[in-house]
Structure 1
C-alpha cells in the first residue's frame, strides 16, 4: 500500500474526474439548466433571463451595475441579456436622470404580469430535484457558504506580478 493510510486518497485518486467537487457542481448546474430550459419554455425565457427577471421582481427598478452585482455578472454579459428582454417587451432601459453614466432597468407592464405565470416555476424545480424543502435549504446554505469561502480564497491570493 506504499505508506498510504487506509481511507485516505492517493495522489493519483485526487486527479480522478469523479473526485472533483468542481465537476460535480458543473454537472449539477448543467442538469439544472436542462430542467429550467423545459420549465421556462412556456414563459419564453432562458435561464439567465429568468434570473434577471427574478431580481427585478424582487427589487424593482435598478441600475445595470447593481443588477450585475446581484447576479454576479459583468456588464458585457448582462447587456445582451437586457437587450433581448427589452426586445421581448419585458424591460426598459433608460439613462438615469440623476447620473447620465448610469442606465436604469425597470419592468414593463408585460414584465410585471409575467411574474404571475412564473410563480409555478420554483415548485416545478423543487419537484424535479427529488429533495424536500429542508434538504434544499440545507444545500443552498452550504453552497452559499462554499461560495463565500471561495470568494475569500480568491481575495486572499497574492496578485501575480509578472
Structure 2
C-alpha cells in the first residue's frame, strides 16, 4: 500500500510532500468545518451560554495557530514515520481531521449540542491516539499538539455546558 507522502514526485522530496499534504488536508478540514458554522444564526444566539464562553471572534484567533501546529506536527511525523507506523499515523491523522470537521456539522449543522458533545468526545479520544502515534516517531511533533488537544478539551467542557443548559435544543 502506498500513500501520497511515500510517493516521490520529480524534484520533490518526501519531507516537502509530507508537509504540503498535511497542510492541504488541514486547510480542507478547516474549510469543510467552517461551512457548517453560523454563529450569527437565531438558533445559536438563542442558546443559553455560560459566562466563561469566549467571544465569537476568539475562535478564529485560536484555531488559526492550532491548525498551523496540527499541519506542522502531522507533516513532520508523516515524513519521519516508516512502514506500519507510517500507515497508522496517516490513518490517525485522517480520522482526526474528519472528526474535527464533523463537530461543526453535528453542533451547528444539526443544531444539536448533544450531537456536538458526542463528536467532541470522539475528537478528544482521537487527539490522544494521534499524539501517542506521533510520539512513537517524533516527540517534538507530539508535543506540538498539546495546545490543540488542550483547546479541544476546553471545547468539550464548553459543549457539555451548552448541552446541559439547552437540553431541548
- TM-score w.r.t. the length of structure 2 is 0.27
Larger radius of gyration: 1
- TM-score w.r.t. the length of structure 1 is 0.28
Bigger relative contact order, structure 1 or 2 (CA pairs below 8 A, ≥6 apart): 2
Structure with bigger strand share is 1
